[in-house]
Every structure is written in C-alpha cells, then in structure tokens.
Structure 1
Amino acid sequence: MSTDSYTSRPVLRPLIERFGFPHLIAMTLAVVAATILLGVAAKATGSGLACEANWPQCDAGPFNLLPANIPSFYEWFHRFVAMFAGFAIIGSAIAAVRLPNIDKRVAALVVAGMILTPIQVVLGRETVTQYTMGILGLHFWTAVLIFVLFTVATVLVWQSRLTSTHVTTALGFGAIVLPFHVALSPLVIGDITDYSPSMQMAQYGVTLGLLAAVIVATMVGRRRFESNRLTGLLSATTVLALLVIFLGRRAVMTFNPALDSLYLATAALLFVVFVVGIRQVRHAPHRSSDA
C-alpha cells in the first residue's frame, strides 16, 4: 500500500466506502435544499430578527447559544441545519478533489459551491444585523446558486444511471408542479387566504423542485438524444423556469401588475413547452453511445 493511499484513507475513505460519493453529493444537495426552505420559514415567520438580532449567538442558554422562544427557534434551527450544510459542502468538495475518478467538472462545481459558502454565511449574518431587502435578495439568490451548482454536480455523478425515461419523468414533474407554483403565489392564494408562512414554504419547495426538474431534463436529454430540436426545447425549459422563479419572487416582493402579468404569461409558456417536450421525447432518436 502506498503512502498516499494510507494517509488519505482515515480522512475520506471510510465515509466514501460506506456510502459512496454519489450518495454523499446527493445528501449534500438535500441538506442545501432543507437549509433554503428553513431560511424561507425564518423569513416568513419574521424570525430573521429573532435571537435578539444576535449572530451567531441566540438569546438563551449557556453563552446565549440556544433559542428562548418559538420565533428564535426558527432562526436558531435554520442556522443549525446551515452549519451541517456547510460541513457537507466542504466535505463534498474535499472528496471531489482528492478522490480518484471524479469528473473534473464535478470537482469544479462543488469547489465553486464551497467558495460561495462563506459568502453565504456572511450574507446570513447581515440579514440579522441589517435586514435590508437587498441583502435578503442576495442571500436568497446565492443559496439558489449553490443549489443549482450541486444539482448539476449530482446529475453529472449519476448521469450513467439516468435514461430517457428520467427525461420524461422530469418534464412531467415540472408540468405538474408548475401550476402549484402559480396557485401558491400571492396572485392566486391571496384571493383565497393569507400568503402564510406554510404557503411560502410550499411555494419555495415547488421552486426548488421545478429547478431540479429542468436541470435533469436538460442535462440528461442532451446526453441521451440526438435531436437538436429537442435539446433546444429542453434548454428553453431551463431559461423559462429561471424567469418564472425570478418573476414569481418579484411578484411576491413588489406586487407590480405588469410583472404579475409577465409572470403568468411566462408560466403558461413554460407549461406548453413542458407538454411539447414530453411529446418530443417519445419520438426523438436516441444517441447510439454516450460519447
């Protein structure tokens, strides 16, 4: 056994040998998604300024490390899960760089996520100490970018096991959840009930699912099919989904009638593209190899 193999084994290999790098990256993606949703919950419940606006401390227990009430608990638990997400991101990046046979693109993506993580931590602190809409926006979109980086990395790691069926499934999932994205927005739900914290969490959960669906459909579709028309259509789903998410968030923040109409029109167009994409997948020629 070589010296390099011996020295690296205690650090990385026991975990990787038990679960495998594909499962490590998938777990990291799940924790990142959970952190985002908990952050939405903290904002929606007005808990971002709980913990007496302390950071990283809270407002109870030894050294003020624990929450004193329910609003503080939301903020504290968000930070607690975010800490584990940070460890998972760093661990995934180290594993991707040090382990053999890891795609360089995967390593680049997770390292980029690791670089963004301390920036996200600083932005999280600023949401507590300043709580301006600009900082909240940067905090949200940085989190989404980290989620996208790890989603793309996860698809790359698992791509050999993903088939044309997964493209159809991803497009179908997108077509199913997109109406919920609209229905849970203040434009629709506001006429029925309040845009409550639970509604906000549900809509942002749909947002992450929609993002993941278009990424899977686009990446796997480009790998599995030869049709330029189909791959172009799949790429359009990603662009439209990002626009829907952006406009949907602006609709929540500004209540601008023009943006509201553009949001609804873009969502309708994306739904049509999903349906057309599902039909195209059924008839598109498959690639003879993955090369």
Structure 2
Amino acid sequence: MSLRDRVTFPRFAAFTTGLTLTLVMLGVYTAATGSGLACSAQWPLCDNGLLPQTIPSFIEWFHRLVAMITGWFIVGTAIWSWRRPETGTRLTATLATLLLPLQISIGAVTVTLNGMLPTGYSPPTQGAHLVVALTIFSLLVWTALSARTNGDPPLPRVRRALLVAFGALVASILASRVFTPTPYGPAGQALFYGTSLLAVAALIAATRWLAASSVPRLRFATGTALGLLFVGSLLGRDLVFYTPTVRLVNAAVFLLAGALVAATAVLVSRARPDGRAGSVVSSD
C-alpha cells in the first residue's frame, strides 16, 4: 500500500485534530512560563529578527511555528472536505478555517499590546484566545467523527467514549489547581488542558453517537457535562481571582461533570438496543 493510499481523509482530519490539541498544550505552556512576552513584544518577528535569541524567545517562536503548521493542516482539511462527495464534514471544517484569522489576531494582540501592560496578559484577551481555540478544536473533532464510516452499533462506541471521557476527566482534575497536592506550574497546566481536551473530544463523540442510539435522550447529560468541562477549563486560566470560593465552585463543576459522565455510562451499560433498561439476554 502506497503512502497516498494510507493518507485518507479520516486519518488526515484525525491527525489535524491531534495536532491542534498539541498546539493548545504548547500555547498554555508558553503563556504559563511567560515566554509569550519574550520576543520583545514583536509579532511575527522575534527579538528584532526571524530567529529567537534566548530560551524563552525560542519557546514562543516554536509555538508560533507549530501554530503555523497546524493552521495549514486545518486549511488543508477544509479544502479536502470540499473535494469529497459527502457534505457532512464541510461545514465544521470550513468554520474552523474561518476562525483561524480571528485566533491569529488575538494571539498577535496577546504578545504585543498586552505585553505592554504592567501585569502582562489581560484576562479578556487570554480568555478569548482560549475560547476560540476550544471552538476550533471542537469543530475539528466533529469533522473527524463525521469523516469516519463506522457500521458498528452506536452503544458499544458510546461506552468506550464515556470510559475515555471519565478517565481523562479524572486525570484533568488531578492536574488542575483544584487538586492542591499537584503543582499547577507550566507543565501541570499543559497537562490539565491536554487531558481536558481529550475528555472534550470523548464527550463530543459520545453525544454524537447517543443521538443515533436507542437512548438518544442521554445525550443531554453528556452535553451538559461538556458545558461544565468548558467552564472548568476557563476557570483554570486565571480569568478571575482564584479565591477559595472560586476553587470550591471549580471543584463542584468538575465533580458534577464527572457524576454526569459516570451516571450516563451506567445507564448506557444497562441499555438494550430497543431502548429499554436491563441486560441483554440471548435466547437459543
């Protein structure tokens, strides 16, 4: 099998989604180390040239390089989607591409105008940068799911997705600032967002597959858990002063999301293809 045969659209879309997840983690690490302000408040140049001159500048420069590569992969995904006969992937892939200029502009403002502020990054700009990134990632997840042609029954796929979502959610809680024994440094923040995005992807998959299952109403539970996870992710970016009260709210958000995922998993495990609860008993 040639390389051209191996690189199918579903694999390309899935790779682009994974690359976007990596970019978000790298962006969080760059911001947490303060490296985003290391290029002398210049964009797209760095340290008055094309190449960085210090370690912090290299981190910011490398983040920009990965962002550029990821952007072209997202554009490529959208172009490829329009060359395919089915239309299910076109809308989400195109929307992700249309959001790229906005995300690039916010990133440029973050490391230039915001770098001139006494306190560095401003919460509104930082929050907008994260919200757009999460939106692009979610659109790419939906694109990758739409590109797959899987004839398996939806319930087994939902069970696997919920298992991944619950495991990733537990890992994100342990890496978050809610769990005080874990240092919430640059690496910890990157790990928190990496596991959170993995949980987001799994919940999007579960919600999509539940809609085509015998228990479609359960998708409202996974959708609610997805919304709670978004709120918890935003609280992890210092958008508000992290008081003990905010920590308590953050913990409650994560616990409620985990409870919804666990409860949905139990109900799905008991569901039968005809939509009724109970174990499936085979008859000879």
TM-score of the two chains, using structure 1 as the length reference = 0.83
More deviation, 43-52/166-175? 166-175
More deviation, 258-267/111-120? 258-267
Q: Does 1:169 align with 2:160?
A: yes
2:204 to 215, 229, 235: 215
Decide whether the 8 Å contact of 2:88 with 2:147 is kept in 1: no
Decide whether the 8 Å contact of 1:221 with 1:234 is kept in 2: no
Decide whether the 8 Å contact of 1:90 with 1:114 is kept in 2: yes
Alignment of 1:69-148 (within 5 A): 69-97=54-82, 99-102=83-86, 104-131=87-114, 132-148=122-138
5+ residue gaps, structure 2, are 115-121, 276-284
Residues in 2 aligned to 1:228 and 1:115: alpha-carbon distance in whole angstroms: 31
| Aligned AA (1:271) | G
* Deviation readout 1:115-164 (Å, 9 max, x if unpaired): 10011111111111122322121111111110010011111112525643
| Aligned AA (1:168) | R
Decide whether the 8 Å contact of 2:32 with 2:185 is kept in 1: yes
Decide whether the 8 Å contact of 1:16 with 1:24 is kept in 2: no
Q: Does 1:277 align with 2:277?
A: no
Name the SS for the 1:105 alignment partner: coil
Decide whether the 8 Å contact of 1:226 with 1:287 is kept in 2: yes
Alignment of 1:145-164 (within 5 A): 145-158=135-148, 160=150, 163-164=154-155
Aligned to 1:25: 13
Aligned to 1:230: 218
More deviation, 256-265/78-87? 256-265
Name the SS for the 2:178 alignment partner: helix
Alignment of 1:252-267 (within 5 A): 253-267=240-254
5+ residue gaps, structure 1, are 1-13
Name the SS for the 2:184 alignment partner: coil
Decide whether the 8 Å contact of 1:247 with 1:262 is kept in 2: no
Q: Does 1:183 align with 2:170?
A: no
Decide whether the 8 Å contact of 1:51 with 1:67 is kept in 2: yes
Decide whether the 8 Å contact of 2:200 with 2:226 is kept in 1: yes
CA shift, 1:227, in A, is 1.9
| Aligned AA (1:201) | A
Residues in 2 aligned to 1:284 and 1:26: alpha-carbon distance in whole angstroms: 29
Residues in 2 aligned to 1:247 and 1:52: alpha-carbon distance in whole angstroms: 29
Residues in 1 aligned to 2:29 and 2:202: alpha-carbon distance in whole angstroms: 23
| Aligned AA (1:95) | W
| Aligned AA (1:212) | A
1:286 to 273, 276, 283: 273
> Identity percentage over the alignment?
31
Q: 1:207 to 1:19 in 2, by over 3 A?
A: same
CA shift, 1:193, in A, is 5.9
Name the SS for the 1:188 alignment partner: coil
CA RMSD of aligned residues (A): 2.3
Aligned to 1:53: 41
